[in-house]
Amino acid sequence: MIRTIYSENGAVCILNQNLLPAQVTYECVTDFRDLVRAIKELQVRGAPLIGVTAAYGIALAMDQAPLSDEEMDHYFEEITNSFASSRPTAVNLFWAIDRMTRLFESLRGRAHQDIQQRLWQEAENICAEDIATNQLIGEHGVPLLPVGARILTICNAGALATCGYGTALGVIRSAHLGNRVGQVWVCETRPVLQGARLTIWELMQDGLPVRLITDSMAASVMQQGQVDAIIAGADRIAANGDTANKIGTYALAVLARYHQVPFYIAAPLSTVDLMIDSGQGIPIEERNPDEVRQLGGIYVTVPEVAVYNPAFDVTPNSLITGIITEAGVIFPPYREELLRLKGE
């Protein structure tokens, strides 16, 4: 299994995804600021993994926490603020920070060492739970697919976006284990090519029948009747089911409706944000214009051209056939089902 993150001898080690597929390089850091930077620069990316990285980062930083209670509280807040400002869209980041904060608050007054140990343990727990959750998502998703399914996906919602197995790719992996996958169409996912660089690499390691297309080819492949289902991940699902995911996902959902192809979102319940009523309230990250101006570090346009570079878009609930979670698959209308599954 691909490892995306782990702790070793008081350091946190991450697989630098910017170097994939050419190089498989783990970088071990002891300064939490290096993890904040790794999230911003997409060395680690994907909603669940961003959250797990913040959890490990908080534990790492607290190894250097000041001794007095008051100073420790202040220091904790500074660390969580710096992770919270790393990337705005994936709610799993804030979910993980909240979970670490609740634990920290419950440990007030305990010995320093005890607090540190419990925070490390919590980060490990979040990571282990993530893998178990993804396996359940995989299991629940399989019956939605026909035997020999030709599935189209975008970005990377796989082992590389999580602690292992993956969400959308978890479903595809489970279907492959049951011999149900005929073809996986992978959109390259401009601007930074998570599909071409990461999903292709990850699925080829497991021997899946992948085929790479540029994003603009998806319509034609669907028109030819070569897609049985689309499965995408999610960065944040609003209370009504509207879903933010990698830019280009919305276009696929529109195309899927036109071509009568089922469009599924696969995501853990930690990606559901009941505090946000609809997609309009989801903050969408805008990234460095050079991601669009360049390909592999080389300008493919006039270097000073004005650019719009939103990293995510929002797919309205009306275009989503079903949402595959660890607690089962839900169908529209989503609001009540999401409330029920989140237990609120």
Q: Does residue 167 interact with ligand MRU by CB under 6 A? A: yes
Residue 130 bears catalytic tag: no
Among 12, 119, 161, 221, binds ligand MRU (CB under 6 A): 161
Q: Which of 88, 222 has the CB closer to ligand MRU? A: 88
Among 14, 36, 43, 46, binds ligand MRU (CB under 6 A): 46
CB 254 within 8 A of CB 319: yes
Judged by CB under 6 A, how many residues of this single chain contact ligand MRU?
Answer: 17
Q: Does residue 47 interact with ligand MRU by CB under 6 A? A: yes
Q: Which of 116, 167 has the CB closer to ligand MRU? A: 167
The rounded distance, in Å, linking the Cα atoms of 160 and 202 is: 8
Among 194, 199, 270, 315, binds ligand MRU (CB under 6 A): 194
Q: 220 to 249, contacts with ligand MRU by CB under 6 A?
A: 233-235, 245-246
Among 15, 97, 126, 155, binds ligand MRU (CB under 6 A): 155
Q: What are phi and psi of 268, to 5 degrees?
A: -75, 160
Closest approach of ligand MRU to the CB of residue 16, in Å: 14
Q: Does residue 313 interact with ligand MRU by CB under 6 A? A: no
Q: Which of 47, 221 has the CB closer to ligand MRU? A: 47
Q: Does residue 35 interact with ligand MRU by CB under 6 A? A: no
Active-site option among 235, 242, 273, 313: 235
Q: Does residue 157 interact with ligand MRU by CB under 6 A? A: yes
Q: Does residue 48 interact with ligand MRU by CB under 6 A? A: yes
Q: Which of 115, 154 has the CB closer to ligand MRU? A: 154
Q: Which residues are catalytic?
A: 235
Tell me which residues touch ligand MRU (CB under 6 A).
Answer: 45-48, 90, 155, 157, 161-162, 167, 194, 233-235, 245-246, 311
